[in-house]
């Protein structure tokens, strides 16, 4: 939601080179700017000591780097940390999840969300705008634990495929040699399944993809995910089957488990039928009730128990789809999407 025009964070090397020339610096100063912004993570122009003082002053008159610190932090007993950033008049969330030698940051791509998934707190917040590439990158760069990060998941507030220009711009900065030079294998982007956006994402990015599936039956999925009406799951799967997922890039499916709702043998077999021929994996997720799900007839507010989730994991794995159970994190700090923002508003 920051106005990107005068913000350097999120700019490409070519754009930074043009800006350098605009303020009277040589073109190669654009590469210096990129190094200060993406590698050294500078927060002010004064830090850029290999750029002339006059050049720095000229940059200050027209541009800002675009960095700002989180305004609040919540720390879980399990080490998970939720950060709150203010963007304009809105608040967005990021969640830092340490796990042995792995540290993942879950970032937001929008303030609120349009998708209206019935089990998600973010959907109750309404939609308040797209985050700019600078807003997305700032979450990564400005948390205290930024140097410990090994992975990033675009699974926070918002639907990445609904803000794809800015998502791709942020991914470009993270993975390009002139930027952070991260391997795309360290980044996963999630989607409810907007087909037009998915096709472009797959063809323009090498990052991993995660699809929010949650029910293999179209009628049942529609009851909890309105996106199913215009973007049928079967069409999403047909699109995915046109691409190679057997090598560097991976596609996975997120599957929240509700007791007696989508954890049955019938649902397991339909998952196997639907995903047959697609090299993929499934992540089973325990359901955690929230105010968003109270009164929703199609959600019983009860997660599948451990035994049933283990059965479903083993059944799917034994029939050819690698399936895991995601460990719950940060329950004591409202780590699920939108919950801390909602608590702040109330």
> Which range is least confidently modeled, 149-153, 259-263, 327-331?
327-331
User: What's residue 293's pLDDT?
Assistant: 56
User: What's residue 156's pLDDT?
Assistant: 95
Q: pLDDT band for position 294 (50/70/90)?
A: low
Q: What is the C-alpha separation between 327 and 149, in angstroms, rounded?
A: 19
Q: What is the C-alpha separation between 244 and 75, in angstroms, rounded?
A: 39
Q: What is the mean pLDDT of the chain?
A: 92
Do 137 and 173 touch, CB atoms closer than 8 A? yes
* 104 bridge partner residues: 97, 151
CATH fold group of domain 72-345: TIM Barrel (3.20.20)
User: What's residue 22's pLDDT?
Assistant: 96
> In the numeric block, which tokens belong to residue 109?
């791509």
User: What's residue 297's pLDDT?
Assistant: 47
Mean pLDDT of 80-104: 95
Residue 296 has pLDDT above 70, yes or no: no
Mean pLDDT of 218-245: 97
Residue 251 has pLDDT above 50, yes or no: yes
Do 150 and 188 touch, CB atoms closer than 8 A? no
Q: What does DSSP say about strands 322-326 and 281-286: parallel, antiparallel, or unpaired?
A: parallel
- Domain residue ranges in the chain: 4-62, 72-345
- DSSP-based helix, strand, coil % in the chain, nearest 5: 40, 20, 40
320 CB-near residues (< 8 Å, 6+ apart): 272
Mean pLDDT of 312-326: 97
For the chain, count helices (H), then strands (E).
11, 12
H or E segment to which residue 21 belongs: helix 13-22
Model confidence over 262-288: pLDDT tens digits? Answer: 999 999 999 999 999 999 999 999 998
User: What's residue 299's pLDDT?
Assistant: 61
Mean pLDDT of 215-243: 97
Q: If you ran DSSP here, which 8-state letter would residue 84 be given? A: E
Mean pLDDT of 84-96: 95
Q: pLDDT band for position 28 (50/70/90)?
A: very high
Mean pLDDT of 188-202: 98
In order of 13, 150, 321, 327, the CA distances from 169 in angstroms are 12, 20, 33, 31
Residue 1 has pLDDT above 70, yes or no: no
Q: What is the C-alpha separation between 60 and 83, in angstroms, rounded?
A: 28
Mean pLDDT of 134-142: 98
Buried b (16+ CB within 10 A) or exposed e, 291-329: ebbeeeeebeeebbeeebbeebbebbeeeebebebeeeb
Residue 343 has pLDDT above 60, yes or no: no
CATH fold group of domain 4-62: DNA polymerase; domain 1 (1.10.150)
User: What's residue 247's pLDDT?
Assistant: 86
247 or 157: whose pLDDT is higher? Answer: 157
Residue 238 has pLDDT above 70, yes or no: yes
Q: What is the C-alpha separation between 173 and 137, in angstroms, rounded?
A: 8
Residue 314 has pLDDT above 50, yes or no: yes
User: What's residue 335's pLDDT?
Assistant: 47
Residue positions annotated with a catalytic role: 93, 337
Q: What is the C-alpha separation between 91 and 341, in angstroms, rounded?
A: 6
User: pTM surpassing 0.85?
Assistant: yes
Q: Helix (H, G, I), strand (E, B), or coil: what is residue 80?
A: coil
Mean pLDDT of 108-119: 94
């Amino acid at each position: 939601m920051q106005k990107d025009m005068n913000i350097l964070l999120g700019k490409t090397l070519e754009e930074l080179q043009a800006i350098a020339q605009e303020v009277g610096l040589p073109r190669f100063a654009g590469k210096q700017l990129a190094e200060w912004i993406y590698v050294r993570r500078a927060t002010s122009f004064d830090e850029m000591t290999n750029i002339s003082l006059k050049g720095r002053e000229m940059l200050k008159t027209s541009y800002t780097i675009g960095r700002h610190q989180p305004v609040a932090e919540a720390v879980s007993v399990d080490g998970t940390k939720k950060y709150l950033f203010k963007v304009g008049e809105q608040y967005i969330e990021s969640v830092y999840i340490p796990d042995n030698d792995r540290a993942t940051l879950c970032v937001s791509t929008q303030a609120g969300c349009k998708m209206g998934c019935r089990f998600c707190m973010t959907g109750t917040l309404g939609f308040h705008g797209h985050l700019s590439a600078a807003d997305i990158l700032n979450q990564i760069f400005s948390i205290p634990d930024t140097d410990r990060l090994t992975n990033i998941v675009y699974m926070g507030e918002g639907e990445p495929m609904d803000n794809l220009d800015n998502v791709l711009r942020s991914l470009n900065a993270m993975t390009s040699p002139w930027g952070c030079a991260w391997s795309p294998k360290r980044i996963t982007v999630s989607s409810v399944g907007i087909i037009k956006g998915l096709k472009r994402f797959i063809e323009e990015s090498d990052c991993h993809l995660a699809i929010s599936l949650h029910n293999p039956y179209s009628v049942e999925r529609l009851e909890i995910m309105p996106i199913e009406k215009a973007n049928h799951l079967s069409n999403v799967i047909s699109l995915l089957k046109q691409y190679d997922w057997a090598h560097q890039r991976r596609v996975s499916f997120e599957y929240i488990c509700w007791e007696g709702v989508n954890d049955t043998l019938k649902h397991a077999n339909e998952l196997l039928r639907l995903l047959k021929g697609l090299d993929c994996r499934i992540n089973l997720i325990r359901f955690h009730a929230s105010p968003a799900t109270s009164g929703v007839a199609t959600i019983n507010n009860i997660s599948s128990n451990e035994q049933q989730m283990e059965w479903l994991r083993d059944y799917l794995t034994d029939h050819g789809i690698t399936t895991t159970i995601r460990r719950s994190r940060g329950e004591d700090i409202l780590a699920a999407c939108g919950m801390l923002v909602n608590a702040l508003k109330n």
